[in-house]
Copies of this chain bind each other. A is one copy, B any other.
């Protein structure tokens, strides 16, 4: 199986030693990745953004990998955005306090207040990436955010709005109702439900935000991905946390999937779909939606070869730790 220019449209690389540990996994197997800006100090300045990009490129060690950089959403003025545009792939909006390092996020979705920035983004063709959850009951948070997505989609018809890491049938349906709504889907949400998190024993390594939902939600996500649906893009939301912050009281949210993405997707699509639809999901859809073009193509070959996922990489437990996978990325 060969894939052309795999793209990870939602990726957490963190910083410092964690960056050095995790970046090579994505850099080796993906052509580009959309890098999340929720560092401990969220990225809101172009100087910080450029410096972070440099650190990422260094950690990627000469691999053919393009970090597509994003800023943390706040009210930016048009002049700032015009200047920053060339450094920027998109802007990521977090509701306040909704996930890791999001305390400085948005606490009101008052359209009038958001208008200057979102109109400027529409004009400049800068996509808005959204972590779409309210502060409601954990199983309702994403579905209850649908009305905010609708408000944004209606009020900013020229704005490209990406509903990030969708997990519910409600948002899968909404995607088809508004031309300017798009979505990313993670690997783990194609595989797990809440049953895997707390249905048997509790598994901190499958605890993430948004939390995995019901079987019918997972099935609808799979339908979108496996059919190669044009508005659905792969975005891993791979989010490493050291072991001591996972297996403890007050465990951090995030699944570290980077080391296993392509082999697991290959297996899933071989079983439930085909290579053509995987190519759409992993690259072609995103290229069309975002007009991405690359000077040089990166071709990744997956071979049928069993291997066992390590229990840990450094101090981080990966998704599928200890499991045997049937596909391997060829060197």
Interface positions of A (Cβ within 8 A of B): 137-139, 193-195, 197-199, 201-205, 207, 211, 214-215, 246-253, 317
- Of chain B, the residue at the smallest CB distance from A251 is B202
CA distance A209 to B205 in the complex (A): 20
Contacts of A253 in B (CB 8 A): 201-202
Contacts of A215 in B (CB 8 A): 137
CA distance A207 to B214 in the complex (A): 19
Cβ-defined contact, B214 with A198, below 8 A? no
Q: With A198-B207, A202-B202 known to touch, is A317 a contact of B249 (CB < 8 Å)? A: yes
- Of chain B, the residue at the smallest CB distance from A252 is B201
Q: With A247-B247, A249-B247 known to touch, is A138 a contact of B194 (CB < 8 Å)? A: yes
Cβ-defined contact, B199 with A137, below 8 A? yes
CA distance A199 to B97 in the complex (A): 12
CA distance A249 to B202 in the complex (A): 7
A164 CB to closest chain B CB, in angstroms?
A: 19
- Of chain B, the residue at the smallest CB distance from A201 is B250
CA distance A199 to B141 in the complex (A): 10
A101 CB to closest chain B CB, in angstroms?
A: 13
Contacts of A195 in B (CB 8 A): 137-138
CA distance A274 to B194 in the complex (A): 38
- Of chain B, the residue at the smallest CB distance from A317 is B249
- Of chain B, the residue at the smallest CB distance from A194 is B138
Cβ-defined contact, A207 with B199, below 8 A? no
- Of chain B, the residue at the smallest CB distance from A212 is B198
Cβ-defined contact, A138 with B249, below 8 A? no
Contacts of A202 in B (CB 8 A): 202, 204, 207, 250-251, 253
